[in-house]
């Protein structure tokens, strides 16, 4: 009986890790497509607002105007960002990153090795959960704002920027989460450079 429970537990962990990896790859793929289009446009206003510490209604307006005139497949970069990234892959990415970080923190907290690490894991896990909530809220807020780029409200932009700051701060304070994020970002940069070189070679 104990062996069966162990197998089921291992299967659940494997399924959890596999789902997280799918979410990470999906999120990274969308970011790579966006970055390639952004680099090709040569417009600095195409910088994604959610990766900036500070932005306002004017910055979001400039971003929307620039992204509206760039194509990614059959849609504008703005539509791709709102519908493919903010409302889909980025939400899954945020949930997966928060869940994986919280899971690692939980494993550290219950491990019978170092009491100091056990206690430290609790606030780190809390920061991971806060990050996930803030990131999802930020994605939905930005998507709502950018659906009507011609009338961006200052208060809405300020609220989105506050969520961005909470997200970034919580991710950094989670320690493990930011480490995972940096690894994924490094993989994104590598894929972006590889695909960029291929595009130049074809041209």
CA distance linking residue 41 with residue 96, whole number of Å:
31
CA distance linking residue 32 with residue 35, whole number of Å:
5
Q: What is the pLDDT of residues 121-163, one digit of tens each?
A: 889 999 999 999 999 999 999 999 998 888 899 999 999 999 9
Query: Whose CA is closest to 170, among 108, 122, 124?
Result: 124
CA distance linking residue 130 with residue 88, whole number of Å:
19
Question: Residue 184's domain spans which residues?
Answer: 2-202
Asked if residue 71 lies in contact with residue 77, where contact means CB atoms within 8 angstroms, the answer is: yes
Give the predicted TM-score (pTM) of the model: 0.88
The dihedral formed by the CA atoms of 97, 89, 82 and 140, expressed in degrees to the nearest 10: -50
Indicate the number of domains in the chain: 1
Q: What is the pLDDT of residues 64-110, one digit of tens each?
A: 999 998 888 889 999 999 999 999 999 999 999 999 999 999 888 88
């Amino acid at each position: 009986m104990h062996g069966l429970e162990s197998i089921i537990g291992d299967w659940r962990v494997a399924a959890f890790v596999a789902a997280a990896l799918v979410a990470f790859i999906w999120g990274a793929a969308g970011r790579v497509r966006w970055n390639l289009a952004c680099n090709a446009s040569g417009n600095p206003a195409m910088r994604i607002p959610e990766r900036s510490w500070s932005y306002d209604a004017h910055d979001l307006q400039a971003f929307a105007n620039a992204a509206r005139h760039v194509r990614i497949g059959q849609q504008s970069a703005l539509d791709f960002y709102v519908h493919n990234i903010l409302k889909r892959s980025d939400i899954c990415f945020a949930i997966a990153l928060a869940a994986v970080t919280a899971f690692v923190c939980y494993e550290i907290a219950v491990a019978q090795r170092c009491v100091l690490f056990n206690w430290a894991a609790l606030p780190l896990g809390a920061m991971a959960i806060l990050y996930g909530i803030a990131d999802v809220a930020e994605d939905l807020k930005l998507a709502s704002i950018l659906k009507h780029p011609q009338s961006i409200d200052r208060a809405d932009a300020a609220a989105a920027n506050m969520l961005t700051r909470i997200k970034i701060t919580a991710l950094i304070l989670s320690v493990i989460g930011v480490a995972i994020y940096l690894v994924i970002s490094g993989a994104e940069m590598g894929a972006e450079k590889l695909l960029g070189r291929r595009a130049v070679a074809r041209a």
